[in-house]
Structure 1
């Protein structure tokens, strides 16, 4: 059962395989497991890799034992774990969660906020555990609503892509090379997040270098004309040095991309079909925005002021990919560097 926890019978098979002289890779094939899974299990169970760290009785290397490895696994799997997010740490974490910071952002910034107090440091996994698993502790259950998913438990999710046929498209392969490595500012990725059927949409733009976000409402529908007009108004707010390219998927809302490029001077490049990773920053941002506009929302009454307020929240939160700068800081530094 790849992806599931090792069974006791599999641990017995690992022990017997090692005793028979099989390599860990060969044992992995027999079990239908990843070689990394077997290697990690042997290491945890005191096997071959432990020989260089210590030896057992009689001077002989420690040997993997299935019964001992099973006991270790049972101890590691005991629940619930003691809650670490309490007291002053809980107060700080609560305040940052209420500001819509993610557990990962909080965990990364705590050592910077409290460099001399390791008791105030905690991993993002521990914060998630406090929110979703712990039955006791000081983090309120309703704080989970501040996570971008709003869920009360962790759950994988996927994104459905819409595609369409457009005339005169420039493929992403023709996009300027300086957009690829994100070293130059002014290259954007764009898309729509949709409300319920017939209930509006939001234009989302992300600058590739800084991850700076711009948003605009499409209150009634998202025809090509409506999208072009609102997108033109949004781009017109930018200085010329931030208008180098725009990457979009092949949605029909961009059927007037040629007219848009003439009006704004911003060329549009289109992703390959079924390739959302080609505008990965925008995909990630759309996921963050679902915290504020869940799927099925009525977006017909969203104002530009509301869009600007939510964009401000995203643009003033630290990002791991920016070495924990905020998008606003990253964009300001890029503009200052070119101005100098």
Structure 2
């Protein structure tokens, strides 16, 4: 005779174990703020200061790029990292955005645990951090498209630990100095320089 009470008890135990794993950091982000709460003005791309963030992963998860793109001007910043820990990604993000902190209002990320320290970004950059819905990469479409451009230089077979940050900087400069039709053939670099000069004036 089947002992259903034992089966139910085992299922409950496994469910509890999975929940503990999740809360220990396997995909769980504490105090996550949904993209549904993001101001609607971000969707219009009518102001400077709204950024999208992601990682470009190397072959065998060997190294990665942190890529961050400003939605209105398409201005991109990036740096190579050796691991994907939340601590490393947060430090890299602060290093990239601190020079532009007067032009950082919001950051939109995916639900990867690499962005679990989002409160550190809010504290240090005085910005709001929002998280896209799971499996909705189109909600960070500009960042996805930018990553596609970067893949022209570094295909999925690349080991990013063998790529220098000088090489990354060179590619990002080329990307930011490329005229864009949607920017009336201005470059992201020119628009960002003009914005930062206006802020400083």
TM-score range, shorter chain: 0.7 to 0.9
2:176 corresponding residue in structure 1 = 315
Equivalent residue for 2:163? 302
**Residue 228 (structure 1) aligned with residue 97 (structure 2):** no
Paired residues for 1:1-340 under 5 Å? 164-219=27-82, 221-238=83-100, 240-335=101-196
Q: Which one has a larger percent strand, Structure 1 or Structure 2?
A: 2
Q: Kindly name which structure, 1 or 2, has the bigger radius of gyration based on alpha carbons.
A: 1
Count of aligned residue pairs for this structure pair: 176
Q: CA deviation at 1:339?
A: 6.3
- Root-mean-square deviation over aligned CA pairs: 2.0
CA separation of 1:212/1:321 partners in 2, compared to 1, >3 Å: closer, same or farther? same
The 1:334/1:304 distance shift into structure 2, 3 A limit, reads same
SS where residue 260 of structure 1 aligns? helix
Structure 1 residue 263: Cα displacement: 2.7
Q: Which has the higher helix share?
A: 2
Report the TM-score when normalising by structure 2. Answer: 0.80
| Structure 1 alignment gaps of length 5 or more | 1-162
* Structure 1 residue aligned with 2:11: none
- Tell me the CA shift for residue 212 of structure 1: 0.4
**Distance between the aligned counterparts of 1:232 and 1:339, measured in 2?**
20
Give the corresponding residue for 1:141.
Answer: none
SS in structure 1 of the partner of residue 61 of structure 2: coil
Pair 1:231–1:337, CA change in 2 (3 A): closer
Gaps of 5+ in 2: 1-25
